[in-house]
Chain A
Amino acid sequence: GNSVTQMEGPVTLSEEAFLTINCTYTATGYPSLFWYVQYPGEGLQLLLKATKADDKGSNKGFEATYRKETTSFHLEKGSVQVSDSAVYFCALINDYKLSFGAGTTVTVRA
């Protein structure tokens, strides 16, 4: 079956620090991979996606590379801001169904 494992939080950082959230997956076939973000009081938003091996998704300074050999899709940002405080979910889609990780809460302090 399909499953996603992501780094447990919570993660607390200072502004301008480097952020990494690890994500690994198990899937049959060729899933697409996603990072979704949920800001406080808001709904789930797509942050970035990658549809095949070695693709890099990027948005708002965040990046993640689809690594088939390590079945990973780690999220990185070089310099976080207070406005990046949110819950981040790694997800994969295979045969229409999204499978989500448990979410990582990130708090950025000024």
Chain B
Amino acid sequence: GAGVSQSPSNKVTEKGKDVELRCDPISGHTALYWYRQRLGQGLEFLIYFQGNSAPDKSGLPSDRFSAERTGESVSTLTIQRTQQEDSAVYLCASSFGTRTDTQYFGPGTRLTVL
């Protein structure tokens, strides 16, 4: 597609529920990244995929967070048993995959945990 797309754009959930966030990268981009942006703060790295493998999961905050990717296509970030501190904008980015390539961002999913 023309750009990185994410769905849903907004998600409101109750504490304790599971949520799935989806990212569709730019066609041809082999690398895919998830970041989190809490209100008034910069971006936190969560996880990076090269193809469908995840060489770097170091940013995942806890074992409630997981992500998978199908080939060089869609990725899903899953948060289990959501907590209020998980409320944030979750951003996905993609790139051609070399170590310093420009990353292009999607519009984000705003997650609110009540």
Q: In the complex, what distance in Å separates the CA atom of A9 from the CA atom of B38?
A: 17
Let me know if B48 and A96 touch, CB within 8 A. Answer: yes
Main secondary structure of the interface of A (DSSP, over half): strand
Find chain B residues with CB under 8 A from A49 CB: 102
A6-58 interface (Cβ within 8 A of B)? 31-32, 34, 36, 42-46, 49, 51
Interface of B is mostly: strand
Contact B42 A103 (CB under 8 A): yes
Of B42, B55, B101, the residue contacting A102 (CB under 8 A) is B42
Q: Which residue of B lies closest to A92 (CB)?
A: B100
A101 touching B56 in the complex, CB below 8 Å, given contacts A34-B102, A43-B106:
no
Given the complex, which residues of B lie within 8 Å of A95, measured CB to CB? 99
Query: How many residues on B have C-beta within 8 angstroms of the other chain's C-beta atoms?
Result: 23
Report the bound CA distance from A5 to B109 in whole Å: 26
Contact A100 B42 (CB under 8 A): yes
Contact of A96 with B31 in the complex, beta carbons under 8 Å? yes
Count contacts on A: residues with CB < 8 A to the other chain: 25
Point out which of A96, A98, A103 has the most chain B C-beta atoms below 10 A from its C-beta: A96
Please state if B91 and A44 are interface contacts (CB–CB under 8 Å).
yes
Report whether B106 and A96 are in contact in the complex, using a CB–CB cutoff of 8 Å. no
Partner of A96, one of B35, B41, B99: B99
**Contact flags A77-110 to B (C-beta < 8 A → 1, else 0):** 0000000000001010111111111110000000
Q: Write 13 A-B pairs (CB below 8 A) sorted by A numbering.
A: A4-B42, A31-B100, A32-B102, A34-B102, A43-B106, A44-B105, A46-B104, A91-B43, A93-B103, A94-B99, A95-B99, A96-B55, A96-B99
